[in-house]
Amino acid sequence: MVETLALLASGAAAGASATEAFRSRRLISRLRAVALCSHELRGALTAIGAAMSRLERPSETSDRSRFEALRHGYDRALLVARDLEAARGALPVRSVRPPELVDLEEVAGRVVDAWNVSMPGGARQVALDWRAGTTHVHGYAMRLTQALDNLVANAVEHGRGPVTVTGRMSGSHVAVCVLDRGAGLVGPLLDVRPRSWQARRGHGLVVARHAVELHGGTLRRVRGPFGSGIEVRLPAGGGPAPVRASGTPAVPRKSGSGAAAS
């Protein structure tokens, strides 16, 4: 009996070891694929950046808007390429770049303009209603751009009717809301988890939450005169205390139930 138990234990240990080895090989294979994709993405972005640097800024308003929208997308993709490099260990996870004062109205305006330029038929479906004045946040402009871009994407793709980005002061904080005429997310709490990490969609709120929490802010569901949506609440002013070092997107903590958007 003792010998049988010993054999079973030995077999279980061998099986566990084989399973762990298989998982390690699969992880290495995926990291190699990430490295190749990261290389190709950075190569394409380098070519695009070089071409853009040789282009003169258009004088026509419509062409200038398209050019700025192209630069907006390029800057966002370049940040993603750096995140991929950090994720596979080719770059330090923590950025050495210090945070700076970011004009939040300028960030919101660029996001709104870029989305309107990309709309079919030139329709302006995203509006900016900014009443927070000149508001600065101590942090990273492109991380805040990531957050608003993903929230606007959710509203455009999954919401209904026009989308409005609002800016209001609330004490020592600034509240930026992305609202549409749809029913909003379901569930009692805001859930930023995708249904599966292997899913193609459902990660936008994760990126937005990481960027907002990086700046000492919060996300919550809201309803207002322009519809329902998500509020980004950030500490305003020049104080560096709320800001942590910039890094790659983190796995979110568990929250309540609900449907996560893309």
Output the domain CATH number for residue 194: 3.30.565.10
Measured between its terminal Cα atoms, the distance across the chain in Å is 56
Residues 212 and 120 in one domain: yes
Residues 55 and 153 in one domain: no
Structure tokens at 90: 């080719």
> Tell me, what's the pLDDT at 206?
86
Residues 122 and 73 in one domain: no
Please list, in sequence order, all residues whose beta carbon lies within 8 angstroms of the beta carbon of residue 256, skipping any fewer than 6 positions away: 187, 188, 189, 190, 191
Residues 79 and 107 in one domain: no
- Tell me how many domains the chain contains: 2
Residues 224 and 140 in one domain: yes
Tokens 């996870």 sit on residue: 93
126 in helix, strand or coil? strand
Residues 81 and 113 in one domain: no
Residues 139 and 162 in one domain: yes
Range of the domain at 205: 100-235
> Tell me, what's the pLDDT at 106?
95
Residues 135 and 226 in one domain: yes
Q: Give pLDDT tens digits along the chain (262 positions).
A: 656 655 555 656 665 666 776 677 777 777 777 778 777 887 888 888 888 777 777 777 777 788 888 888 888 888 888 887 777 776 665 555 688 999 999 999 999 998 988 877 655 689 999 999 999 999 999 999 999 999 999 898 888 889 999 999 989 999 999 999 887 665 545 665 656 555 656 678 888 998 999 999 999 999 888 889 999 999 987 555 455 555 555 544 443 333 334 4
Residues 108 and 229 in one domain: yes
pLDDT tens by residue, 54-105: 777 777 777 778 888 888 888 888 888 888 777 777 666 555 568 899 999 9
Residues 191 and 120 in one domain: yes
Which of 56, 87, 118 lies at the terminal end of a domain, its last residue? 87
The reply to whether 247 falls in a domain is no
The reply to whether 218 falls in a domain is yes
Residue type, 239: G
Residues 104 and 216 in one domain: yes
Tell which residue, 106, 143, 134, 119, has the closest CA to residue 244.
143
Residues 137 and 226 in one domain: yes
> Tell me, what's the pLDDT at 252?
45
pTM over 0.75: no
> Tell me, what's the pLDDT at 101?
92
**How far apart are the C-alpha atoms of 211 and 213, rounded to whole Å?**
6
232 in helix, strand or coil? strand
